[in-house]
Amino acid sequence: MEQLSAKQERVLDFIKSSLQQTGYPPTVREIADRLGLAGPNSAKKFLDILERKGFIRRQPGCSRAIEVMGAALSPALRSLPVVGAIRAGEPLLAVESIGERIAVDPSFARGEGLFFLRVKGDSMIDAHVMDGDLALIRPQPEVASGDIAAVLLGDEATLKYFFKEKTAVRLQPANPAYKPIMIKQKDAAQLRIIGKVVGVMRKME
């Protein structure tokens, strides 16, 4: 099956949740109302795309005749978004868009709001976080000292060990070739914690 955009995924998720909760799929008007689309015609366009990509099948002339195909409805996997990219090295401009989605075993991704960030750079190699890895992030506004955190510095994002010291926050790389980033208390407003790294996925080839 082809990849879905974030909006297409939202439509498919709503159809699946409606089937699970009520036993029948939503109408195009219900889809448009629930997801804030322009109207039924906009919802129909999304259904056309989902059918073309093989995620659903419809019966012409019936308002609720939407069948979710087996692979799309499989409860064995959980679909998580890959959000932008994050640099394990020098900070990289944060990109808050969903580029793709990846299906994972639910036992690997427990919790709400989880997402992947793609790692670029080698400043965390001694923590076994490599260039090209997918870091699994659990969104949270605070982390404990020693956690690997995804943080925003102004408009820039980076992945580092997080240490809160008496007069500053230290973002510590796990590579002796890189120096730590020190954020003094007076500059604390520039720092925002995105979340904690709770897992890493790596493609071996």
Do 56 and 108 belong to one domain?
no
Do 58 and 106 belong to one domain?
no
Q: Can you give the CATH number for the domain in which 185 is found?
A: 2.10.109.10
Domain end: 26, 57, 73, which one?
Answer: 73
Do 108 and 179 belong to one domain?
yes
The question of whether 17 is a catalytic residue gets the answer no
Structural domains of the chain, count? 2
Asked, for residue 178, whether it belongs to a domain, the answer is yes
User: What's the confidence (pLDDT) of residue 95?
Assistant: 45
Q: What is the mean pLDDT of the chain?
A: 83
Do 129 and 189 belong to one domain?
yes
DSSP, collapsed to helix, strand or coil, labels residue 165 as coil
Do 58 and 21 belong to one domain?
yes
Contacts 24+ apart (CB under 8 A), 101-104: 101/3, 101/4, 101/9, 102/134, 102/201, 103/77, 103/78, 103/79, 104/77, 104/78, 104/80, 104/201
* Catalytically annotated residue among 18, 45, 160, 179: 160
Asked, for residue 146, whether it belongs to a domain, the answer is yes
* Catalytically annotated residue among 45, 107, 123, 196: 123
Range(s) of the domain holding residue 36 = 6-73
The CA distance from 13 to 155, in Å, is: 31
Taking a C-beta distance cutoff of 8 angstroms, is the pair 192, 154 a contact? Answer: no
Do 159 and 112 belong to one domain?
yes
Q: Is residue 199 predicted with pLDDT exceeding 90?
A: yes
Do 63 and 113 belong to one domain?
no
The question of whether 123 is a catalytic residue gets the answer yes
pLDDT digits (tens, 9 = 90+) for 91-115: 654 444 556 777 777 778 888 888 8
Torsion sign across C-alpha atoms 16, 116, 151, 142: positive
Asked, for residue 1, whether it belongs to a domain, the answer is no
